[in-house]
Structure 1
């Protein structure tokens, strides 16, 4: 423990008490910075009960930009567990922070939720807080702030990895592009997965926030720009979820929800929605490009993950379906498959991806039989 006195600490406590009684008081930014810069792993712990409850109280009523307050709060939260954080910030307070227009308040709430990824028991506690989970999903998909969206995407993936009770499709270590799934991690209880995929309101909110059917500026709707951001965030987390629990994202407990947002009879699940029906390929060129990129990353993840035969058959059908309807994606898959540096696991995984033996021939797609070499000497673009 570091016993070195912290310069300005008493003055900061006095300033915080003034903010409690008079929330409109201007923040003394210099005083906050002076104290925060002196904090370290050795002296934070005794300061948590002295400062954090008061900071939380101020944040609930502070009318201006709270970034200075939240910066100090986030640093103080570093050694705090999820259960301890809940004693200082109620579920209602965290929901209000997630709903705040200030990105710093959003990040403070997400910092607390990140702590639930430290253990399966903590994610189980979070799963019971339906209102908090709903608010987190809305912030994740609807925030216009890139840092908040990226932090929420990473947090959601971490939470679901710890909570996963069915790592059947992730029984080998997987690591790529910053994503790591460890086969040695003990299984979770799956309660957060069930909250997302077996709770109608939560499950439906993902479709609603990402579907162009709800494009607009009314309550619960997102405008065109924000809709694209929401779609991109969902696409970025799909590969990680697929490697954790492929069954969860390819099946549905609410077929009426799937069908209301565009899926046809026999089509179901979040994966199919995201990869096949969600993106308006002709009207949103940037999102179409993102879809192509994320679909390839999804296939790369699955190619180095142990798969059951039904999963392989599902993936083959999905690739066939997508390739038949998306020339740009089809050409990208073909180019990768023909690249001699592409790992053989990727090339050999699906019979519908053209093999290197057909190099020099353009491929044509017949949805009923997969990919066939055409009678053309045009090189695959």
Structure 2
């Protein structure tokens, strides 16, 4: 253990004690920064006991920008387990942090939730915290700050990876792409998957946020685009983890998708969600207003990531069927997407181009896949 004294620690502790008594006093950011810069893996454990409970108490009452407090708390949380954190921060505290307009508070709460990815048992506990799950989904999709959305996507992807009930995938031949995405060492319990995809209230919330039918996204076209982009970025990874769950659902969207990204018009030529379709089809085929050039590019990026990841997952007739149906409908009236997919083998590393071309020929039968130049 590092025995080197941390300069300013006693002064910071006194300042923190004062803040516990009166959170309205001016915060000395320099004291916090000086101590945080000296924290190492070896000297942090001794500081945790002295400061983390007090920081938690302050954050529950603090009404100013919590960035400085949250930064130190995140640093101290690194070696602390999910269960240990829950002894300090209640569900109500996590909801309060997620609902805060301050991105630092959002990131702190997401850091706590991310700790559940250490084990499937911890993810199962998180899945029972309904109010926290709801607030997490809302903040992930409705936060205007890019860093909050990125953090939320990473956290959710890791939690669902560890929670996935399916057996470990076989190691693919020449690429490590899929194995690098798989965190779990054994099958999980699947409780968070069921919470998100079979709990009608939560699944409907997720779809409504992406469809512009929720107050957090309906009034702001930019915010709706952010929410849609975040779902499109995480879906290829989720499809690689559990394709059946993301491609099938007994819950149909209760309202038509807002195809104009918040502008309040309706285009009846866009087909409504169909019975039995999952989040995958909703996001890929029913969600995006393609007249929005940036969102159309995001959709193209999604399909490129989707077909690339599906290639390296375990082969099955179901996988081919889902991918083929999705691509057939997607490229029917989208020449930009079709051209991007046909030319994809030309834009990846040569070692994988032939395998990708064969995969595209299987899921896009009858299309002329480009042969990479040698």
Fold shared by both chains (TM-score > 0.5)? yes
Aligned to 1:346: 356
Deviations 1:24-74 (A, max 9, x none): 111111111121112111111122121001101111111111111011100
Task: Sort the Cα spacing of 1:219 and 1:247 in 2 relative to 1 into closer, same or farther, 3 A.
Answer: closer
In the alignment, structure 1 residue 335 sits paired with structure 2 residue 343:
yes
In the alignment, structure 1 residue 7 sits paired with structure 2 residue 4:
no
Tell me, in whole angstroms, the C-alpha distance in 1 between the residues paired with 2:75 and 2:340.
44
Q: Which of 333, 358, 361 is the matching residue for 1:325?
A: 333
Task: Sort the Cα spacing of 1:356 and 1:228 in 2 relative to 1 into closer, same or farther, 3 A.
Answer: closer
Tell me, in whole angstroms, the C-alpha distance in 1 between the residues paired with 2:280 and 2:356.
19
* Residues 209 and 222, structure 1, Cα contact 8 Å, conserved in 2: no
CA RMSD of aligned residues (A): 2.3
* Residues 165 and 187, structure 2, Cα contact 8 Å, conserved in 1: yes
Tell me, in whole angstroms, the C-alpha distance in 2 between the residues paired with 1:42 and 1:22.
32
* Residues 342 and 370, structure 2, Cα contact 8 Å, conserved in 1: no
* Residues 347 and 355, structure 1, Cα contact 8 Å, conserved in 2: no
Aligned to 2:171: 172
Alpha-carbon distance, 1:357 to partner: 7.8
With 20-29 and 153-162 compared, the bigger mean Cα shift is at 20-29
Aligned to 2:196: 196
Task: Sort the Cα spacing of 1:72 and 1:49 in 2 relative to 1 into closer, same or farther, 3 A.
Answer: same
Alpha-carbon distance, 1:258 to partner: 6.2
Q: Which runs of 5+ in 2 are unaligned?
A: 258-270
* Residues 167 and 245, structure 1, Cα contact 8 Å, conserved in 2: no
Tell me, in whole angstroms, the C-alpha distance in 2 between the residues paired with 1:183 and 1:110.
18
Task: Sort the Cα spacing of 1:22 and 1:316 in 2 relative to 1 into closer, same or farther, 3 A.
Answer: same
Q: TM-score, normalising length from structure 1? A: 0.86
* Residues 161 and 182, structure 2, Cα contact 8 Å, conserved in 1: no
Matches within 5 A, 1:233-312: 233-255=230-252, 257=253, 260-261=256-257, 263-266=272-275, 268-282=277-291, 284-312=292-320
Aligned to 2:146: 146
* Residues 338 and 355, structure 1, Cα contact 8 Å, conserved in 2: no
* Residues 324 and 363, structure 2, Cα contact 8 Å, conserved in 1: yes
Tell me, in whole angstroms, the C-alpha distance in 1 between the residues paired with 2:183 and 2:131.
32
Tell me, in whole angstroms, the C-alpha distance in 1 between the residues paired with 2:370 and 2:97.
56
- SS of structure 1 residue aligned to 2:24: coil
Tell me, in whole angstroms, the C-alpha distance in 1 between the residues paired with 2:363 and 2:9.
66
Task: Sort the Cα spacing of 1:211 and 1:42 in 2 relative to 1 into closer, same or farther, 3 A.
Answer: same
Alpha-carbon distance, 1:289 to partner: 0.7
Tell me, in whole angstroms, the C-alpha distance in 1 between the residues paired with 2:144 and 2:216.
16
Matches within 5 A, 1:39-188: 39-167=39-167, 170-172=169-171, 175-176=176-177, 180-182=180-182, 185-188=185-188
Tell me, in whole angstroms, the C-alpha distance in 1 between the residues paired with 2:170 and 2:255.
32
Tell me, in whole angstroms, the C-alpha distance in 1 between the residues paired with 2:129 and 2:363.
44
Alpha-carbon distance, 1:171 to partner: 3.5
Alpha-carbon distance, 1:351 to partner: 4.8
Deviations 1:132-153 (A, max 9, x none): 1111110100001111111111
Alpha-carbon distance, 1:182 to partner: 3.7
* Residues 338 and 356, structure 1, Cα contact 8 Å, conserved in 2: no
* Residues 320 and 352, structure 1, Cα contact 8 Å, conserved in 2: yes
Alpha-carbon distance, 1:343 to partner: 2.0
Task: Sort the Cα spacing of 1:351 and 1:107 in 2 relative to 1 into closer, same or farther, 3 A.
Answer: closer
CA radius of gyration, larger in: 1
Deviations 1:114-148 (A, max 9, x none): 11011111111101101111111101000011111
With 9-18 and 122-131 compared, the bigger mean Cα shift is at 9-18
Tell me, in whole angstroms, the C-alpha distance in 2 between the residues paired with 1:115 and 1:279.
33
Residue correspondences, number:
352
Tell me, in whole angstroms, the C-alpha distance in 1 between the residues paired with 2:136 and 2:52.
22
Task: Sort the Cα spacing of 1:4 and 1:123 in 2 relative to 1 into closer, same or farther, 3 A.
Answer: same
Aligned to 2:207: 207
* Residues 66 and 105, structure 1, Cα contact 8 Å, conserved in 2: yes
Task: Sort the Cα spacing of 1:266 and 1:65 in 2 relative to 1 into closer, same or farther, 3 A.
Answer: closer
- SS of structure 2 residue aligned to 1:294: helix
* Residues 140 and 153, structure 2, Cα contact 8 Å, conserved in 1: yes
Aligned to 2:267: none
Tell me, in whole angstroms, the C-alpha distance in 1 between the residues paired with 2:80 and 2:99.
23
Q: TM-score, normalising length from structure 2? A: 0.88
